[in-house]
Amino acid sequence: MKVFAHRGASGDYPENTILAFDKALELDIYGLELDVHKSKDGHLVVIHDEDIQRTFKGKGLVADYTLAELKKFNCRKFEFIENLNCKIPTLREVFELIKNTDITLNIEAKTDLIHSDLEQDILDLIKEYNFEEKTLISSFNHECIKIFKNLNNNLKYGALYGCKNDYASESNVVEHARKLGVYSINISKDLITKEMVDLAHENGLKIFVYTVNTPIIMRKMIEFNVDGVFSDYPDLMNEIIKEN
């Protein structure tokens, strides 16, 4: 069972920050998951929402600020407001953090609402750091995955599914992912069934499930034999795995 720290150790630390990633690296994890957007001046930045206001003390869209402007915002979580490791990181900063580790990085390209042509930039950075073997690129935007695959078909890609509509064009999610030609199905815990996992495995596809945060769901994912989970509490997930 591969355990990804979802947005870092985000259950205890501000999500998608260097602090949350650093704390996750202290745990026994397989990988980090993070979300990527592009700033106004073309930098790849790690933040979940298009709008900064939920997680940072400021207003406006990531796409409307330069990196220097984005770096000025303090995080919203009270205990971490002054923490310099709780600013909006660049993807490059996270690459620096993990470059001497064997951690896998799931880079989620957030292009559903604002598509900022970040595909080539992400691929260039992966190439620069020789991270081809240690990255999994995913997106809810399956057109974005097609763009990635057209640019480089030798990397691992994961198709994200959040509701049944995301694969409605095919008879089932496995068929949808197979046609897209991805390595993994990255699917919501609310959609996953044991039959889906078995069918995915029969078709040579991996199944990674998000966001797995409670013991009951954690045990269910072990029982379903999924390949991995994204959890805000990777340590709790490890504890549950050890029960077996």
Residues near Mg ion (CB under 5 A): 35, 108
Reply yes or no on whether 37 is catalytic: no
Reply yes or no on whether 6 is catalytic: yes
Pairing of strands 135-139, 104-109: parallel
Nearest distance in Å: CB 187, Mg ion = 13
Pairing of strands 44-46, 31-38: antiparallel
Residue whose CB is less far from Mg ion, 16 or 39:
16
Select from 230, 231, 233, 235 the one that contacts ligand G3P (CB under 6 A). 230
Select from 55, 90, 186, 213 the one that contacts ligand G3P (CB under 6 A). 186
Decide: is 227 part of the binding site for ligand G3P (CB under 6 A).
Answer: no
Binding at 160: pick from Mg ion, ligand G3P, none (beta carbon under 5-8 Å per type): ligand G3P
Nearest distance in Å: CB 34, Mg ion = 7
Long-range pairs for 119-128: beta carbons < 8 A, 24 or more residues apart: 119/144, 119/147, 119/148, 119/151, 120/151, 121/38, 121/42, 121/44, 122/36, 122/44, 122/91, 122/148, 123/148, 123/151, 123/152, 123/155, 125/44, 125/91, 125/92, 125/95, 126/155
Q: Which three-class secondary structure state does DSSP give residue 179?
A: helix
Binding at 111: pick from ligand G3P, Mg ion, none (beta carbon under 5-8 Å per type): none
* 3-state secondary structure labels for all residues of 197-236: HHHHHHCCCEEEEECCCCHHHHHHHHHHCCCEEEECCHHH
Select from 103, 109, 160, 229 the one that contacts ligand G3P (CB under 6 A). 160
Q: State the catalytic residue, choosing from 6, 43, 142, 176.
A: 6
Q: State the catalytic residue, choosing from 43, 48, 142, 176.
A: 48
The residue ranges that bind ligand G3P (CB under 6 A) are 6, 33, 35, 48, 108, 138, 160, 186, 210-211, 230
Which residues are tagged catalytic?
6, 48
